[in-house]
A and B are shown apart, each in its own frame.
Chain A
Amino acid sequence: MKPELDRSYPDAMDTWPVAKLRRDQLHKLRRVLKHAHRGLSFYRERYDKAKIEADAVRNFEDFARLPTFTKRDVLDAIREKKSFRTGMESGAGTDMGVLCMTSGTLGTSFLYLPRRWAEIRGNSLARAYWWAGLRPGMRMLMAAPAWHSLAVQETRVIHRLGVTCVVPWGTFLPRHAGSFLAAITEVKPDFVSIFLPMLYALLAECRRRNLRPADAFQSVQNVLVVGAPMTPLSRAKLREDLGVKDLFEGLGNPEGLTAMECSHHRGHHIFIDCCYVEIIDPGSGAPLAAGKRGNVIVTSLIPHGSVYIRYDTEDLGEILPGLCPCGKTWPLLEVYDRRANAVEVARKEIFPYDVRLCLDKVPELIHIPFALLRGRRAAEVLKLKVQQPMGGGALEILENQLKAQIKETLGLEARIEWTEELPERWKGVAVIDEDNGGRARV
C-alpha cells in the first residue's frame, strides 16, 4: 500500500467563518442524533423516557436539553448487559473493526471502532499532526498500544500523511524507557508522539546514562505530547532540554474529543469536524459561556461504531474567550484536570496541576513526578509524595523551597514525603488515596 503522498493537507475548514462552522456542526449533530435515536438502544431508551424526539432538536439550545451521562452509566450498562455491547454502538461484529478500551479506576469500557470510524477520526487527527509539523516522508515514533483508540487513529494518520514509523518495544511505562530511548537514538525519527509521563521517564533515562537529552533527540524536530498537561515552564524547559523546534500538546479521549494546540500555544483548538464540546455547571447542568470553568461535555459527530452523545467527561475545563491569533476559527479549549483529582485542603479545592506549577518554580523539581495524598476527610495541610530527583543531595533545601512556593502560590502549608518511585501508570499518578491502602488513582 503506497503512502497517500498526493493529498494536500490540510484544507481550509479550520479558517471557515464561525457562522459556517456552526451550521456544519448543527447539521452533523442532528445527523448523529437521528442515527442514535433510530438505531442505538442506549439513547432510544433514555430519550423515550425523557419524551425527547430527535427530530425536534433544531438548534444548539434544544440539544443542550438532552440528558448527559458519565462513565459510571456506561459501566453500569456493561455490567447489566454482561456485554461490551451497551447499545451505544452500531454494527459491532458485522462491520470490520476492532474493540478498544478505556482505562481508569472505575473500570474498563469498550469502544467499537469500525474501519469507517478510523478513517474519519484518523483523517481529522492528521490535521493535528500536520499542525505539529509532521510531513510526508518523515519518520514518526509511534508507540502502538493497540488497546487505546489513539493507536487506531495514529495508524490512519501515518497512512494519510505518507510518513513511515518506528515502534519501540513495550508500552508507555517508565520501565520501558530504555527501549524507547534506544529507538529514538538508533532509528532517528523526525517526529515523536508520546505520553507526557513517558517523556519525563526518557529524560530520567538520559540522566541515568549520562546522555544529553538534546543529543538523544538530535533527529527529532517536533514532539506531540498527550496524556497530561504541560505547564508553560515545563514546556519551555522541555524544549530547551530536548533541543527540538517545538512541543505540541494534544487533548483527547476515545469517546470523541480531539483538541490540539497550534504554534501559538494559547489553548487547544477543538476539532469541530468530529466533535462538539460544551461546558456545563456540574451542579445545575446549565450551559456555561466561554471563560467560565465547568464540566467538559463531549459529543462525537461520527455516526459509526460507538457513539457518545453529551458524554460528561468529568473533566474540569473551559472554552477560552476570543479568537486565536493564528487565524484558525476553531474554538479554544483548556482542560485543567479530572474532577476526581480534586483534593480539599483548608477549604480550598486543589488540583495536581496547581501543585505542578509550584514544583516548576524549583528548578531541580521540574519534570519530577509527584502525587497528592488525599485522606478520607478534608485536610488542613497539603500532603504530597515527590520522587527524589536523581543525584540526591540537599533534599532539605529543596523541601523548604517547595514549601515556600506552595505557601506563596496556594496559601497552604505543605507536608512533603520523598519517595524513590511512584506507582507506574500511563498517565502518571495524580492522586493517591490514603484510605485506599495508598492505591493510586489513574
Chain B
Amino acid sequence: MRKLRRLIRQASAAPLYQRKFDVLRDDASSSLKAFVRETPTTTLEELIAEKLVTGDPYSSRWATDHAPLVVFQLEYGTETSLYVGLGPDELKGYAEALRRCWSLVGLGSGDRVGIFDYGTSPVSYLASSAFTPYLRRGAADALGCLVTCNDGEANMSQRAVEIIKYVRPRILFLRSDCLHPFALEVEKDSLSLSDYIDALVTAENEAVLSTAERVAYEKRLAVPIYRMLRVDAAMFLAVECPRCRLLHSWQDLFLVEAPAGGSEEGGKRNPAPLVITNWFAKSCPAIRYVSQVKATLEPAGCPRGPKDLRIAT
C-alpha cells in the first residue's frame, strides 16, 4: 500500500484534497478497501464550484510547485471552463493508457491510424510526440504506427473520407458526434468502408455510444465499431475489447469502482457511476472522481488481457 500512501501524501499538497484528507483516519491508506471506505469522492460539480470560488484553473487540484508543462482545457461545456495540468508523469502515464487502447483494438507496428477528432482531445494529443510538447512517446511512437489527425468538426467529414481512401488507416478513431456526418459522407461517396479499414472506434468524454446505436451503425457501415471511454477530468481511458465486447482498462494505471455494483435486481447488477482514482496523475491528482458514466465492473479474465479491468456500460 506504499503506492496509496504516496498518492495521498502527494495529493495532500493540493488544497482541494488537503481539505478532504484532513478528515481521513490513519488507516485510510492501510488497504484499498479502507481507502475506498474512508476517502470522500470528488464530483464534477465540486470541481466547478471550486473553480468558481477560487478562480484557480485547476480547481485547486494542482499539487506541485512546478508549473504544468502543458495545460489542456477540458470538453465539459460547463458554466465555467475546467482544465488539467500535465507534467512529465501525467504525459507518460496518459499516453501509456492510449497505447494500451490501441493495442487492444489490434494496432501494432507498421499500421496506419486515422483520428477524426479535435487536436485538443486526448485521443489526438496523446497519439504522437509530434502533437504535444514534452510528450516523449505517444501511442504511435510506442507502437510504430503512422498517425494522421483530422479536425473534430462535423463538416470535416469529407476530409475524413479522403483519409480513409488515400491513407487507408487500419482503424479510424472518431468522435461519437462525428459518426453520423461521417456515415452520410461514406454513403454519398458510395464507399465500401470494409475494403479500406478494419474497424471504427468511437470516443467521447464521460459517455459511450449506446449499444443500440453501435449495432445500427455497424449494420449501416458494415464494419465493427468499438467504443472508447474518456473521462478527461481524471485522465482516464478505457476501450471496448473486440473479443469480449467489454471495456478494458488497467489497474496499474487506475483504480476503478462502480459502488452500487453489488446490488442485485433480478440477478442483474445495477449500473452505478464509475469512480476513478488515477495512479499516475501526481501533479494533478484525480482521487475518487465520480464520473457521469454508469457501469458495472465485471470479473477479469479476457484472453486479450487476463488481468485487465473489465467494465460493462
Contacts and interface: CB of A to CB of B under 8 A. Distances in A.
Interface of A: 1, 3, 78, 82-84, 92-93, 96-101, 103, 107-108, 110, 112-113, 115, 118, 139, 142-147, 151-152, 154-156, 158-159, 164-171, 173, 179, 182-183, 186-187
B140 A146 contact: no
Given A155-B131, A159-B133, A179 B73 contact: yes
Contacts of A170: 118, 120, 152
Closest 8 A-B residue pairs measured CB to CB?
A146-B119, A99-B148, A146-B149, A144-B119, A158-B133, A166-B71, A182-B81, A169-B73
Contact of B132 (A84, A143, A145, A155): A155
30 contacts: A3-B134, A92-B146, A98-B128, A98-B131, A98-B146, A98-B149, A115-B129, A144-B124, A144-B131, A145-B151, A146-B149, A147-B148, A147-B149, A147-B150, A147-B151, A152-B131, A164-B67, A165-B69, A166-B70, A166-B73, A167-B72, A168-B73, A168-B120, A169-B72, A169-B73, A169-B118, A171-B153, A173-B153, A186-B55, A187-B57
Interface stretch (B96-104, B159-167, B273-281): B159-167
A144 B133 CA distance: 10
B162 A107 contact: yes
A108 B130 contact: no
Nearest to A145: B119
Interface of A (DSSP majority class): mixed
B94 interface: no
Contacts of A168: 73, 120
Contacts of A78: 166
A152 B166 contact: no
A171 B119 contact: yes
Interface in B44-93: 55, 57, 67-75, 80-81, 83, 88
A59 to B, nearest CB: 36
B136 interface: yes
B262 interface: no
B146 A144 contact: no
Interface of B: 55, 57, 67-75, 80-81, 83, 88, 110, 112, 115, 118-120, 124-125, 127-134, 136, 140-141, 144, 146-153, 159, 162-163, 165-168
Contacts of A187: 57, 71, 73, 83
Given A101-B148, A146-B119, 5 more contacts: A1-B88, A3-B134, A108-B159, A182-B80, A186-B55
Contacts of A99: 146-148, 167
Contacts of B72: 166-167, 169
Contact of B136 (A1, A93, A110): A1
B104 to A, nearest CB: 22
B148 A155 contact: no
B78 to A, nearest CB: 11
Contacts of B163: 101, 108
Contacts of B57: 186-187
Contact of B146 (A97, A108, A143, A173): A97
B88 A186 contact: no
A152 B115 CA distance: 16
A110 B148 contact: yes
B166 A82 contact: yes
Nearest to B158: A108
Contact of A82 (B74, B159, B165): B165
Nearest to A108: B162
Contacts of B129: 115, 155
B81 A186 contact: yes
Contacts of B134: 1, 3, 158-159
A84 B125 contact: no
B73 A146 contact: no
A107 B161 CA distance: 12
A98 B150 contact: no
